[in-house]
């Protein structure tokens, strides 16, 4: 059994979801300013963030049939950043190369354009689906010197990971959550442990169950997914329970193993394929059936995706051309936006290991 490094786990945090309306740009600037102060962005970088949020919001208002801004703080170890996601159900971008040229802007906006957004952000990515919509991602890091690494980079595994949650319409607290931590196994090597949890129901009681699951995952000293799931089962007693899956990724062996109970979907996602990893029936914290662990190969370039039943699991890779080439934050956001339902809490976590 390896020694688990629980010093700096990455976990789901608060996400500010702002739907498209006439006040989106001003609301986005106000919320972004508050997040910038919390992470300690310098005044100039905070102004850049405000400009990016304004341009993204204006584009959503002008071109999206439906859309939202998602703003959040992420912290991985000693790295803190403000992240901006602009998601829409719209026409997509027919000529992305032209749209990314500096000085190219949609009519009626500030004239900043996607090219300048890419230049202003510490990290920028975009994925567009013609006729279905676009996901824009920008990250502003509080790291004082040098360009920060790609978001969600693990120290020992060199893996990238990110997740996203959204509460059911009408609620402010989300019962879906995710967490990631490393388990060092040798000098310079580590396994990655990943949890996806869907607290039963919605609202504060579901969010409480999700929070207890994160705590149990963080504190567990088990190295195998089944052992971690057993610790989460104990930690959820006294709550309404949850569906939970725990995965372990071995980047050197290029294998993933998963142990889950309840309705958590898990896939190894390739550019043109996906392999399902099964979970068993039951409720973690109540009547958990005897867990079973399933494993699969993890080919170079593929990603591991875990999500709750707030996303329709019938989505297929062919519906998302080019998505697996994107960073996990974009993969998670595009899947949640395109396959998610507003009639339930929704959550997804995505992990990629180096090729």
Question: Are 158 and 136 within one domain?
Answer: no
Contact 153, 161 (CB under 8 A): no
| Residue 25 resides in a domain | yes
State how many domains the chain has. Answer: 2
**Vertex 259 angle, CA 258 and 260, to 5°:** 115
Question: Are 88 and 205 within one domain?
Answer: no
- Whose tokens are 């193993």? That residue is 257
Q: CA 312, 179, 24, 59: dihedral to nearest 10 degrees? A: -70
Cα–Cα distance between 199 and 176 in angstroms, integer? 6
Looking at 120, 141, 162, which one is the last position of a domain? 141
The predicted pLDDT at position 76 comes to 67
The predicted pLDDT at position 135 comes to 96
Report the DSSP beta bridge partners of residue 246.
195, 259
Q: What is the CATH number of the domain that holds 302?
A: 3.60.40.10
| Residue 42 resides in a domain | yes
Residue 72, domain extent: 15-141
β-strand pairing of 15-19 with 79-89: unpaired
Q: What is the CATH number of the domain that holds 23?
A: 3.30.565.10
Question: Are 164 and 278 within one domain?
Answer: yes
Q: Which of 195, 222, 193, 225 is nearest to 209 (CA)?
A: 195
pLDDT in tens, the chain (355 residues): 222 333 456 888 899 999 988 799 999 999 999 999 999 999 999 999 999 999 999 989 887 888 999 999 998 667 799 999 999 998 888 788 877 875 555 443 333 588 889 999 999 999 999 999 999 999 999 875 444 455 555 444 568 999 999 999 999 999 999 999 998 887 777 899 999 999 999 999 999 999 999 999 999 999 999 999 999 999 999 999 999 999 999 999 999 999 999 999 999 999 999 999 999 999 999 999 888 999 999 999 999 999 999 999 999 999 999 999 999 999 999 999 999 998 999 999 999 988 7
**Cβ atoms < 10 Å from Cβ of 307:** 30
Question: Are 131 and 267 within one domain?
Answer: no
Contact 294, 304 (CB under 8 A): no
SS3 19: strand
Looking at 141, 172, 202, which one is the last position of a domain? 141
Contact 277, 306 (CB under 8 A): no
The dihedral through the CA atoms of 97, 331, 140, 112 has a sign that is: positive
| Residue 8 resides in a domain | no
């Amino acid at each position: 059994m390896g020694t688990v490094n629980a010093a700096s786990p990455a976990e789901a945090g608060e996400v500010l979801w702002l739907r498209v309306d006439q006040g989106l740009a001003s609301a986005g600037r106000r919320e972004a300013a508050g997040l910038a102060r919390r992470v300690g962005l310098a005044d100039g970088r905070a102004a850049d963030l405000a400009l990016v949020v304004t341009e993204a919001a204006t584009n959503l208002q002008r071109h999206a049939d439906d859309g939202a801004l998602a703003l959040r703080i992420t912290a991985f170890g000693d790295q803190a950043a403000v992240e901006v996601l602009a998601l829409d159900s719209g026409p997509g971008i027919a000529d992305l190369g032209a749209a990314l040229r500096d000085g190219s802007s949609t009519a009626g906006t500030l004239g900043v354009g996607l090219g300048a957004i890419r230049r202003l952000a510490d990290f920028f990515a975009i994925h567009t689906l013609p006729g279905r919509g676009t996901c824009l991602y920008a990250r502003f890091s509080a790291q004082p010197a040098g360009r920060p690494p790609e978001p969600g980079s693990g120290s020992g595994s060199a893996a990238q990971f990110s997740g996203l949650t959204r509460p059911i319409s009408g609620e402010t607290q989300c019962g879906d959550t995710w967490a990631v931590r490393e388990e060092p196994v040798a000098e310079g090597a580590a396994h990655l442990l990943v949890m996806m949890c869907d607290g039963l129901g919605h609202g504060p009681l579901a969010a409480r169950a999700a929070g207890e699951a994160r705590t149990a995952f963080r504190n567990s000293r088990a190295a195998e997914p089944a052992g971690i799931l057993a610790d989460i089962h104990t930690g959820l007693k006294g709550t309404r329970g949850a569906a939970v899956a725990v995965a372990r990724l071995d980047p050197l062996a290029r294998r993933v193993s998963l142990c889950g109970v309840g309705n958590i979907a898990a896939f190894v996602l390739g550019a043109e394929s996906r392999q399902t990893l099964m979970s068993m029936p039951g409720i973690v914290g109540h009547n958990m059936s005897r867990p079973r662990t399933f494993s699969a190969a993890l080919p170079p370039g593929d990603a591991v995706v875990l999500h709750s039943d707030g996303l329709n699991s019938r989505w297929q890779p062919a519906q998302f051309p080019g998505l697996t080439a994107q960073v996990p934050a974009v993969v998670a956001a595009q899947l949640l936006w395109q396959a998610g339902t507003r009639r339930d809490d929704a959550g997804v976590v995505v992990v990629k290991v180096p090729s």
